[in-house]
A and B are shown apart, each in its own frame.
Chain A
Amino acid sequence: MAVNFGTRRIVVGAHYGLRDWLSQRITAGLMALFTFVVLAQVLFTRGELGYAGWAGIFAAQWMKVLTFVVIVALLYHVWVGVRDIWMDYVQSVAARLLLQVVSIAWLVGCAGWAIQVLWRL
């Protein structure tokens, strides 16, 4: 094969990771906001929190929707981070692919469980 510009081109994605970089930050902001929303509700509860107070926080419809969005955001945020770890430390393509597939299964499974818990409240 002739060596020309095309064969020596470094093939990378069109966005150079911008989309992942940005979505990791946006999802992080959302999760930080969620943290402070939950914390505020716990701190501003009068008297003993108990089961009723704690479960009541997540029973409100707006809180369910927010928690659902946060679970999805977490899924994507963790995927970007864990994929970075595998890309940095695992050089074997086969092992990396396996770990990435396991990570996706792990994350989707966890997200499904969390949403199930949330939805039957």
Chain B
Amino acid sequence: MTELDPNTRAARPVFRNINAFKDLPTYRLPLAGWVSILHRISGALMFLLLPFIIWMFDMSVSSEISYERLMHAFGADGGGWLLKLVALALIWAYLHHLIAGLRHLWMDMSHDAVSKEFGRSSAAVTLVVSILLTVVLGAKLFGLY
């Protein structure tokens, strides 16, 4: 292996132990990196909100009365905007996690998919599709159509 002369080599930043406050704001993450960290964040979010998800499931299927109470809680007079915001975050988390996961499965199965170009383009598709679907479903959730 040929070593370049360190004196003529262009100085590039070296990250060993990344400091969350000092390095992360200036750290340029590639698109695939954004998909990766958002995959983790969305998973952690759904893990933390599991009781809320099961509560919604419980209320929605248990009886007609609990179903109506859930509808009311999400309504305008029940402070529903907060629940809707949490639900919107869950919608995004689920969509991102699902699409990023399918991307992973595709990369596991196809060797052609394991390339720098596909990594970037499929990451872009993941981000665009998940955000677009979140906007569409979020508009429905907040009664825009």
Contact = CB atoms under 8 A, between A and B. Distances in A.
Contact of B54 (A54, A82, A114): A114
A117 B61 contact: yes
A113 B44 CA distance: 20
Interface residues on A, range: 20 to 34
B58 interface: yes
Interface string B28-44: 00000000000010011
A54 to B, nearest CB: 6
Interface in B40-79: 40, 43-44, 46-47, 50-51, 54, 57-58, 60-62, 64, 67-68
B105 A25 contact: yes
A14 interface: no
Nearest to B46: A78
A105 interface: no
Given A81-B43, A81-B47, A55 B61 contact: yes
Nearest to A58: B61
B101 A85 contact: no
A5 to B, nearest CB: 29
Contact of B44 (A25, A85, A121): A85
A58 B51 CA distance: 19
Contacts of A28: 101, 104-105
B102 A32 contact: yes
A117 B54 contact: yes
Given A82-B44, A114-B54, 18 more contacts: A25-B104, A25-B108, A28-B104, A35-B98, A51-B68, A54-B61, A55-B60, A55-B67, A78-B50, A81-B40, A82-B43, A85-B40, A103-B47, A106-B50, A110-B50, A110-B51, A117-B58, A120-B62
13 contacts: A28-B104, A32-B101, A51-B68, A54-B61, A55-B61, A81-B47, A82-B44, A85-B44, A106-B47, A110-B54, A114-B57, A117-B54, A117-B58
